[in-house]
A and B are shown apart, each in its own frame.
Chain A
Amino acid sequence: MKIDVHYFAWLRERLGTGRETVETEAGTVDELIDELRARDEGYAHAFSDTGALRAAVDQDLVEFDARLDGAREVAFFPPMTGG
């Protein structure tokens, strides 16, 4: 399946892109992260500490074990600093 993956803040800067379409068979957010890490050193480094990251599936904040069934959009970003 194809999923739009978005990156924000320092993660976007580190990866050099804010959005890409990913062809994936991942069943969960965790599995998607594993696939991204396996791509190259840049991704492996950016996703080395998932404790410093948060994830959203279809624009809802989720835990990393969340399922991707039918998901259209996944986003990764550091903890939010609104207000």
Chain B
Amino acid sequence: MEPVRVQEAAFDPGQELNAFTATVSGAGAVVSFSGVTRDLAEGALDVMEIEHYPGMTEKALLSIRDEAMTRFSLTGAMILHRYGRLAAGDPIMMVATAARHRADAFSAAEFLMDYLKSRAPFWKKEVTPEGARWVAARTEDEKALSRW
């Protein structure tokens, strides 16, 4: 399985997790996180458009994953991120980590998520009946990096 995938197609987080778990040997702990397209108040989200920077995206995600493999004692890690048009409730992305013990697996999953939020070139745009708007980056997401 490719450790980093960027794709337009939908995916099944459960199936991906099972496939990942089957590839990691010697792990006693597997942690996964799935991000889901959040609806706006009163179901106002028509579609979430995710733009990315082909080439840099893959490069950034591979580098974030390599950094996690170096910092934590892992037997495996994967990142999958979608782009294109998503509906409320659709899985956007997932990360999974495997380690001998759970502490490394949990920490590495948080590390991957924190870096993915503000260091991988994705941009979200919410389209509603009233119009479209680009989602602003949150200062908390940038601050979250300082703990690593």
Contact A80 B125 (CB under 8 A): no
Number of chain A residues whose Cβ lies closer than 8 Å to a Cβ of chain B: 17
| B56 on the A face (CB < 8 A) | yes
Dominant secondary structure of chain B at its interface with chain A: mixed
Contact A8 B116 (CB under 8 A): no
What per-residue 1/0 map shows which CB atoms of A52-67 lie under 8 Å from chain B? 0000100111000000
Q: Which of A10, A56, A60, A80 has the most CB of B within 10 A?
A: A80
Chain A residues with Cβ under 8 A from B56's Cβ?
56, 59-60, 75
| A42 on the B face (CB < 8 A) | no
Assembly CA distance A41 to B146 (angstroms): 37
Assuming A75-B53, A75-B56, is B93 touching A80 (CB within 8 A)?
no
Residues of A within 8 A of B (CB): 6, 8-10, 12, 56, 59-61, 75, 77-83
Q: Tell me how far the C-beta of A50 lies from the nearest C-beta in chain B, rounded to whole angstroms.
A: 15
Contacts A9-B123, A75-B53 supplied; 11 other A-B pairs, CB < 8 Å:
A59-B59, A61-B60, A80-B117, A80-B120, A80-B122, A81-B123, A81-B124, A82-B81, A82-B117, A83-B113, A83-B117
